[in-house]
Structure 1
């Protein structure tokens, strides 16, 4: 039995204890299984499919805030908290502090691949355009050194991707464009404060950024996911990640 099969067997056993049937989206399993193949038939045994709160997850408030997602839906946030504190310690503008706090939220709660682009889309309706632009393009700039800002290509990338890894052509083109953009520095400062924010011994509390978020993140009164913004559906997906439709 493969690791995926073991995981699916364990999840199947757990799902049998639920009142509702949970079906994973294709993107969660593609690669581990061929997405062109039909899914294994579910034995409903009279049960309905999941279309709301998953009892295996902490229940979100009725009108969730950004901090609620940090607390109840995002994975460990030590890195982004350290990054934001470092930016604050370095005396950077509060918008850059916020960008550092939010730059990896897609990795933490949504989709890892192209996470800068997904993360920017998530926050675009709620932050200054400069902030979302910087979050989007940190995805690209992190692959390119800039000695004038003290940013070198991360050693960790050599360990993770190999010494011969070369960014794809679309990334190189995006870098070329970003390099000439008026907000290049804002984005570059995310990567600078990103690079040195991996200290397992430093603890930072989310509440340290209450004022920064309050001043620069436009929290919708309806709650994230329920305000009809262009990215509301993405927040709803994180809120209810196992909905059938």
Structure 2
């Protein structure tokens, strides 16, 4: 296999290929090939052998597609039932790439969300068991925190069902249209303050982070810059109190429920009458994604 030197079209290269029927010629869209590998940065990190293997694999896929089309055999499209039957054969949900992978076997089929879905519906059908955030909110309630902080503790990590990196910012975006400003602030910045001890507030750096990030871990620049901003902010204690209640909310034997928090949710969560995901808010698309994680597009 060799890549020809001529480039008859921008971004497209002809590739010579020997096969059983003689010498054939396949047009390779260079831009599409590079994009399939994750972009130019990903290609630059590959050694020559890996690039050759990737090109071979790409050509085989293209060849199979062309042969199927030329053979006159129409593609067999699956039915809705057939697609649904495949859900429990995968460990990754179709709509979320590797972020919705199951750590224990295949993913499970989810119950459909009801019409006009509420926050409680999401807790029951998408965030369940939500033990950690329920423990966090329970501790915040028992220690006399404000209702804005209790609500922040209840909601601060549920976005991990959608995405994990920068979950403080993602979580704040998810809830911002519906909760008090201080609650949003606490959710957004608890992620930053987790990395910085505050003995006076009762927060020590968790041993768990040494296991997860390494003993010599240094937070990235945007986290360090955010921490400097927070130290002088009038609402510093809002996200700090979330970290305090977060730290002690990992008891596997704790029995918790969302029921004690429903009055607080009723007072401070602006439930849209159309249902979460159907109200055209800035984060409605995020709620729809959580509601329908098996959607391919």
TM-score range, shorter chain: 0.7 to 0.9
How far apart are residue 47 of structure 1 and its match? 2.5
Contact 1:60 1:239 in 2 (8 A): yes
In structure 2, distance between residues paired with 1:34 and 1:77:
36
How far apart are residue 44 of structure 1 and its match? 5.8
- Is 1:123 aligned to 2:203, yes or no? no
How far apart are residue 35 of structure 1 and its match? 3.8
User: What pairs up with 1:52-71 in 2 under 5 angstroms?
Assistant: 56-71=109-124
In structure 2, distance between residues paired with 1:76 and 1:62:
22
TM value normalised by structure 1: 0.79
Name the residue aligned to 1:46.
77
Name the residue aligned to 1:220.
272
CA distances 1:205-229 after superposition (whole Å, capped 9, x unpaired)? 1112111111111111100000011
Name the residue aligned to 2:146.
93
Higher relative contact order (CA 8 A, sep 6+): 1
SS of aligned partner of 2:255: coil
CA distances 1:55-108 after superposition (whole Å, capped 9, x unpaired)? 83201101111111111112531110000000000011111100000000111x
How far apart are residue 241 of structure 1 and its match? 1.6
Give 1 or 2 for the bigger CA radius of gyration: 2
User: Gapped runs of 5+ residues in structure 1?
Assistant: 1-32
How far apart are residue 151 of structure 1 and its match? 0.7
Contact 1:49 1:244 in 2 (8 A): no
In structure 2, distance between residues paired with 1:44 and 1:114:
41
Match of 1:150 among 157, 177, 202: 202
How far apart are residue 148 of structure 1 and its match? 1.4
TM value normalised by structure 2: 0.66
Name the residue aligned to 1:104.
157
Count of matched residue positions in the alignment of Structure 1 and Structure 2:
210
In structure 1, distance between residues paired with 2:231 and 2:268:
25
Segments of 4+ moved more than 6 angstroms = 40-43
In structure 1, distance between residues paired with 2:163 and 2:257:
24
Q: Which structure has the highest strand share of the two?
A: 2
How far apart are residue 243 of structure 1 and its match? 2.0
